[in-house]
């Protein structure tokens, strides 16, 4: 009797089909789905596999379409392999290392006798197109590790040999397409012909395994999409992103500068940048006080013994800076949690005192590698809108929901939509399984009760607790991680934090680490690009600039400057002996919301002419009317 297996599409009734030679292709065909079209792979019981994967037991199946997020990852991984084959064809002697899919694209790191350059990319793209045109199948094999080591060593692929040796597995999987063989877990597309739209974007340097003591490699980046239309739209977004680059706008708007003689990852904020920071920080303090937070401030340096007690020394010290004072070791703080716990432990707490919410705009330092530093987005010194909440276990979910309310309100003010990700226990962590499970359940249940969808990231939590990450979407639909909510039962245990419960006994509080905007520097970089430097009026460092037509108008301009300043308007002046058109263009470049123009006619009438940064002109108005207009525009935050 022919053996049969029961399979079903997710959400559909099961079907019995012959088990002999059953793979993803045949199973989908039996379920009425044409796998020759836009399908990149198949989920077998929620595990993504190649379409050629054998199905040996009853299973729930789901096609992975090439334009889905999972499908695009498979597509981009395939593009990386095709690029590696093209590079090896064109540049004999090249050694390949790793080539993953990343968000929106892929890269591959190569070791060649010279660094690859931008001028090499068109030739590589041309060769990739030839490989794609051949529609070469991606074929998977599982072979003993010793055989794989022997094969890659014979090919001169020393990096692959190192990777296999470090895996310490009996078998490894390899994929072949054409003349190219790569160590790879997969999954992969059925064939190279499925890659319809790709583009190589740029070249960068990268250390092997991110270690500055190891070989410098050439990293070639590319992007790939399911169709040319999607690729073109992404390329347009990239061009727009260049125009919005916060590093360029930071210079043009005179917000900040970065100097090599100061050091990488250290930001010098100019007047306008400091004003912008001050607006954000003042806003944050007000919002936190409104929600029952207490202000706190800890020292920059704390004794290393405290960092050992917290677990940071064992699990985070590679990201920290240390120094010695009078033979005593100190650590420069990378986080603000220690001081907040010390404030809590400064006296006995009752359950009636809880929750305690400590908020600090705390400046921290982290040892980031120079290769990952990027403008304001990734720096070595930054300020976090950091808070730590200590509460009873019964209050935990309520506090998490309060933070989600806080996030919702603040992101609405800035015009950001967002998604949530929940990350669980990493391999390198501290604490008991029971504490981790309690913390993880609290986060998941809070989000589910809040009725928000989320993505689960296994093993991506902090070393002391699981977390919710808030991924905001900017004007170009790019995703940025800002707010985070971390649930922690470990540090209260390590620092022996307690409260007296209703029963008169001591109990251990739960602790929430959270930020709303995250790093102020990073958030400013995101804001600059989100608004393309044209900040809403409440955020604009300069809300209005007074432009004189002739020197005769300067006395009236000075009086007007004083009037607007006293009314709380952030105002600048341009009384230079330059043509008005030149002054207007410069003010528009600086993206100043209001250009207040005064000439003889305005002086005589006691009025001003207004030009907005979008080029519109307003009818003449009195200074009082201008102030009222600005105040009305600012009422949205009151």
Q: Does 93 score more than 70 pLDDT? A: yes
For the domain 273-297+347-530, what is the CATH superfamily, name and number? Bira Bifunctional Protein; Domain 2 (3.30.930.10)
Predicted confidence band of residue 1 (pLDDT cuts 50, 70, 90)? low
Fold that domain 70-242 belongs to in CATH: 3.30.980
Fold that domain 4-65 belongs to in CATH: Ubiquitin-like (UB roll) (3.10.20)
What are the backbone angles phi and psi of residue 21, rounded to the nearest 5°?
65, 20
**Mean pLDDT, to the nearest integer, of 404-420?**
93
Contact at 8 Å (CB) between 267 and 256? yes
Q: What is the pLDDT of residue 284?
A: 96
Provide CATH 3.10.20.30 ranges for the chain: 4-65
Any idea which residue has 């078998």 for tokens?
171
Q: Does 247 score more than 70 pLDDT? A: yes
Closest among 470, 454, 462, 401 to 436, alpha carbons compared:
462
Q: Does 637 score more than 70 pLDDT? A: no
Predicted confidence band of residue 27 (pLDDT cuts 50, 70, 90)? confident
Question: pLDDT of 438-470, one tens digit each?
Answer: 889 889 998 998 888 888 888 888 888 899 999
- Active site (catalytic) residues: 337, 366, 384, 386, 388, 467, 513
Q: Does 627 score more than 80 pLDDT? A: yes
Q: What is the pLDDT of residue 435?
A: 85
Distance CA 263, CA 158 (A): 35
**Mean pLDDT, to the nearest integer, of 89-99?**
95
Task: Return all residues near 609 (Cβ < 8 A) that are at least 6 apart.
Answer: 596, 597, 598, 599, 602, 617, 618, 620
Q: What is the pLDDT of residue 30?
A: 84
Looking at 2.30.30.40, 3.40.50.150, 3.40.50.800, 3.40.640.10, the CATH number of the domain 544-637 comes to 3.40.50.800
**Mean pLDDT, to the nearest integer, of 609-623?**
93
Q: What percent of the chain has pLDDT over 70?
A: 99
Q: What is the pLDDT of residue 383?
A: 96
**Mean pLDDT, to the nearest integer, of 3-21?**
83
Q: What is the pLDDT of residue 369?
A: 83
Question: pLDDT of 181-206, one tens digit each?
Answer: 999 999 999 999 999 999 999 999 88
Closest among 95, 90, 88, 80 to 175, alpha carbons compared:
80
**Mean pLDDT, to the nearest integer, of 284-307?**
96
**Mean pLDDT, to the nearest integer, of 21-27?**
85
**Mean pLDDT, to the nearest integer, of 480-505?**
93
Provide CATH 3.40.50.800 ranges for the chain: 544-637
Distance CA 592, CA 356 (A): 42
**In 160-226, where do the E strands start and end?**
171-177, 180-183, 197-207, 216-225
Contact at 8 Å (CB) between 343 and 357? no
Q: What is the pLDDT of residue 377?
A: 93
Q: What is the pLDDT of residue 401?
A: 93
Provide CATH 3.30.980.10 ranges for the chain: 70-242
Provide CATH 3.30.930.10 ranges for the chain: 273-297+347-530
Q: Does 636 score more than 70 pLDDT? A: no
> Could you write out the DSSP letters of every residue in 569-628?
--EEEE--SS-HHHHHHHHHHTT-SEEEEE-HHHHHHT-EEEEETTS-EEEEE-HHHHHH
> Could you write out the DSSP letters of every residue in 291-350?
TTPEE----SEEEHHHHHHHTHHHHHGGG-EEEEETTEEEEE-S-SHHHHHHHHTTS--B
The span from the first CA to the last CA of the chain, in angstroms, equals 77
> Could you write out the DSSP letters of every residue in 460-507?
-SBTTB-EEEEEEE-TT--EEEEEEEEEESHHHHHTT--EE-TTSSEE
The mean predicted confidence, pLDDT, of the chain is 93
Residue 276's Cα: distance from chain center in Å? 22
């Amino acid at each position: 009797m022919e053996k049969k297996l029961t399979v079903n599409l997710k959400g559909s009734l099961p079907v019995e089909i012959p088990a002999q030679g059953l793979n993803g292709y045949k199973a989908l065909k039996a379920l009425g789905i044409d796998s020759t079209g836009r399908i990149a792979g198949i989920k077998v019981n929620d595990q993504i596999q190649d379409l050629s994967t054998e199905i040996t037991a009853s299973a729930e199946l789901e096609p992975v379409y090439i334009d889905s997020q999972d499908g695009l990852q498979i597509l981009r991984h395939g593009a990386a392999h095709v690029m590696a084959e093209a590079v090896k064809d064109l540049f004999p002697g090249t050694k390949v290392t790793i080539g993953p899919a990343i968000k929106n694209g892929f890269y591959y790191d190569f070791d060649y006798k010279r660094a690859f350059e931008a001028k090499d990319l068109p030739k590589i793209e041309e060769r990739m197109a030839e490989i794609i045109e051949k529609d070469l199948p991606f074929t998977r094999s599982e072979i003993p590790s010793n055989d794989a080591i022997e094969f890659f060593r014979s090919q001169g692929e020393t990096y692959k040999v190192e990777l296999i040796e470090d895996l310490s597995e009996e078998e490894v999987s390899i994929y072949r397409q054409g003349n190219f063989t790569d160590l790879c877990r997969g999954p992969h597309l059925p064939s190279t012909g499925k890659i319809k739209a790709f583009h190589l974007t740029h070249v960068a340097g990268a250390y092997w395994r991110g270690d500055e003591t190891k070989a410098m490699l050439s990293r070639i980046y590319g992007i790939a999409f399911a169709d040319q239309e999607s690729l073109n739209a992404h390329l347009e977004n990239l061009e727009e992103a260049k125009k919005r680059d916060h590093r360029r706008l930071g210079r043009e708007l005179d917000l900040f500068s970065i100097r090599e003689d100061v050091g990488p990852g250290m930001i010098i904020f100019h007047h306008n940048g400091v004003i912008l920071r001050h607006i954000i920080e003042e806003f944050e303090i007000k919002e936190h006080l409104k929600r029952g937070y207490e202000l706190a401030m800890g020292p920059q340096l704390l004794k290393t013994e405290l960092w050992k007690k917290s677990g940071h020394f064992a699990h985070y010290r590679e990201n920290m800076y240390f120094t010695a004072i009078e033979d005593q070791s100190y650590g420069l703080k990378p986080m603000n949690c220690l001081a907040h716990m010390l404030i809590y432990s400064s006296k006995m707490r009752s359950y009636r005192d809880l929750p305690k919410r400590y908020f600090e705009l705390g400046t921290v330092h982290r040892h980031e590698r120079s290769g990952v530093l990027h403008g304001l987005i990734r720096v070595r010194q930054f300020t976090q809108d950091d808070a730590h909440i200590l509460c009873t276990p019964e209050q935990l979910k309520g506090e998490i929901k309060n933070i989600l309310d806080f996030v919702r309100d603040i992101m609405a003010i800035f015009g950001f939509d967002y998604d949530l990700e929940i990350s669980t226990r990493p391999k390198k962590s501290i604490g008991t399984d029971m504490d981790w499970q309690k913390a993880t359940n609290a986060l998941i249940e809070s989000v589910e009760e809040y009725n928000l969808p989320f993505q689960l990231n296994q093993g991506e939590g902090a070393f002391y607790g699981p977390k919710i990450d808030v991924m905001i979407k900017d004007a170009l639909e790019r995703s940025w991680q800002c707010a985070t909510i971390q649930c922690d039962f470990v540090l209260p245990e390590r620092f022996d934090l307690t409260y007296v419960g209703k029963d008169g006994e001591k109990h251990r509080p739960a602790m929430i680490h959270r930020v709303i905007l995250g790093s102020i520097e990073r958030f400013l970089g995101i804001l600059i690009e989100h608004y393309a430097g044209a900040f809403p009026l409440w955020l604009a460092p300069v809300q209005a600039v007074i432009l004189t037509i002739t020197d005769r108008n300067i006395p009236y301009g000075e009086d007007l400057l004083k009037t607007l300043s006293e009314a709380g308007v952030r105002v600048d002046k341009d009384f230079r002996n330059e043509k008005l058109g030149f002054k207007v263009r410069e003010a528009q470049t600086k993206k100043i919301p209001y250009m207040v123009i005064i000439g003889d006619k305005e002086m005589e009438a006691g009025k001003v002419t207004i030009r907005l940064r979008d080029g519109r002109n307003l009818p003449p108005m009195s200074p009082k009317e201008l102030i009222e207009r600005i105040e009305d525009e600012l009422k949205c935050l009151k």
